[in-house]
Amino acid sequence: MDITLDRNLQKLRSKKGNTQEELASFLCVSSQAVSKWERGESLPDVCQLPRIAAYYNVTVDDLLGVGEIRKKERVEEYREEAMKFARSGENEKHVEVWRRAVAEFPNNHECLIGLLQALHMQGYQSDDCANGGKAVDEIISISEKILGESTDNRIRYLAIQILVLNLIRLGRFDEAEKYIADLPDIYITKNCLYSRLYTASGDVENGKERIHQNILVFFEILKDELYNLCCLNKGNYELYIRLHEFYIKLADLIFDDGFYGFYNSRIDNRHYWLAKLYTNLYHDEEKARNHLEAAARCAADYDNLPQDFVYHGTIFDSGYKDSRNNITKNHTISEREILLKHFDGEGLGDPSFDCWRDKDWFQAVVADLGKGYK
């Protein structure tokens, strides 16, 4: 166990504003002894520890740094419990775990950022958050608390990201822009700089892993930016088709062995929208069928992903390992169930596909998707 009495003693003495001589006088030891404790050259006698702790109004565990170690272990236990629900999409349970963590450690920024992320994930399934109710008020309040207290850039950037997204959803664009302006440019993120570092230093293993990771990150960013282009060109349906087809073509170049892994859940959605567009704009049965069948295949492949899987193909020459443990979601249903809800003709069924509903091929797609129900 890492005993940090030297650093803790320095901090406590500095916070109280007393000298080594004053502490030494209280303990009936020499100031040289106190100096050695603070330099980590020796430790106080065991019988002195309760007296030092009482002098600074802390516990012996806190004095030795053991309390902080136990706190970190406890927070990690909360994190592992929360991740189980984040992976399964059980939003309420995910939030509840972090609420318990914050109740136990109200000023711990790791716990606060965990609750913030859980509330944000839950918010995308909640009308209350979309309408600016209590959920988003809590998100903004926690974000502002973190930004007012934390000096950890990782935590601060996560808080800014979630704060900005919720301010945008509320239409508070000027406030959002103020936070965005302080963030670093994409080219000076660790994603870009690590790959340059490893390449220049000849670290092949870490270099390839970082580059593969970056390619997948940028592919995810591209998905969002193509969606934004569609929004900025509202009503330009022919452009929508070209953008969705571009995304799928790019996917086929990146994953040129045909294994999309996690990104099946992105590509199936593009096929769905292309089927809808080709149906509504051109009544093109062949293309609608091809895209709906492709969407169903991608959804099934996603649902059937093994616990651990590897990307191969030209870019991922030596293989890039991934795991379902890295995937979180804000719903509990399968990918096939999501698609089926879009066009099964019941409840949320999309009327765009009513013209194909009696076709054998359409019924076969629906039957395939129905196999994904848990």
Which pLDDT does position 2 carry in this prediction?
57
Q: What is the per-residue pLDDT across 88-129, written as a single tens digit (0 to 9) for each?
A: 999 999 999 999 999 998 889 999 999 999 999 988 655 554
Do 260 and 361 sit in the same domain of this protein? yes
Q: What is the per-residue pLDDT across 66-90, written as a single tens digit (0 to 9) for each?
A: 777 788 889 999 999 999 999 999 9
Asked, for residue 270, whether it belongs to a domain, the answer is yes
Do 230 and 366 sit in the same domain of this protein? yes
Which pLDDT does position 370 carry in this prediction?
87
Do 363 and 251 sit in the same domain of this protein? yes
d(C-alpha 244, C-alpha 227), whole Å: 9
d(C-alpha 224, C-alpha 70), whole Å: 40
Do 51 and 127 sit in the same domain of this protein? no
Which pLDDT does position 124 carry in this prediction?
66
Asked, for residue 261, whether it belongs to a domain, the answer is yes
Do 151 and 288 sit in the same domain of this protein? no
For residue 323, pLDDT over 60 is answered with yes
For residue 134, pLDDT over 90 is answered with no
How does the average pLDDT of the chain come out, rounded?
90
Asked, for residue 197, whether it belongs to a domain, the answer is no
Do 176 and 108 sit in the same domain of this protein? yes
Which of 35, 64, 93 corresponds to the end of one domain?
A: 64
Which pLDDT does position 317 carry in this prediction?
86
Do 76 and 172 sit in the same domain of this protein? yes
Do 140 and 263 sit in the same domain of this protein? no
d(C-alpha 48, C-alpha 184), whole Å: 49
Which has the closest alpha carbon to 350: 299, 276, 271? 276
Asked, for residue 208, whether it belongs to a domain, the answer is no
Q: With bands split at pLDDT 50, 70 and 90, how would you rate the model's confidence at 320?
A: very high
Which of 64, 99, 115 corresponds to the end of one domain?
A: 64
Share in percent of the chain as helix, strand, coil (round to 5): 75, 0, 25
CATH number assigned to the domain comprising residue 108: 1.25.40.10
Which of 41, 64, 87 corresponds to the end of one domain?
A: 64
Asked, for residue 190, whether it belongs to a domain, the answer is no
Asked, for residue 324, whether it belongs to a domain, the answer is yes
Q: What is the pTM of this model?
A: 0.81
Do 78 and 45 sit in the same domain of this protein? no
* Between 40 and 349, the higher pLDDT residue: 40
Do 126 and 43 sit in the same domain of this protein? no
Q: What is the per-residue pLDDT across 178-221, written as a single tens digit (0 to 9) for each?
A: 999 989 898 888 889 999 999 999 999 999 999 999 999 999 99
Which pLDDT does position 64 carry in this prediction?
80
Do 236 and 361 sit in the same domain of this protein? yes
Asked, for residue 188, whether it belongs to a domain, the answer is no
d(C-alpha 278, C-alpha 222), whole Å: 23
For residue 237, pLDDT over 60 is answered with yes
Total domain count for the chain?
A: 3
> What is the domain range of residue 240?
219-370
The pLDDT > 70 percentage for the chain reads 94
Do 265 and 323 sit in the same domain of this protein? yes
Q: What is the per-residue pLDDT across 6-36, written as a single tens digit (0 to 9) for each?
A: 888 898 888 889 899 998 999 999 999 999 9
Asked, for residue 277, whether it belongs to a domain, the answer is yes
Q: Which parts of the chain are beta strand (E)? A: 308-311, 320-323
R_g over Cα of the chain: 27
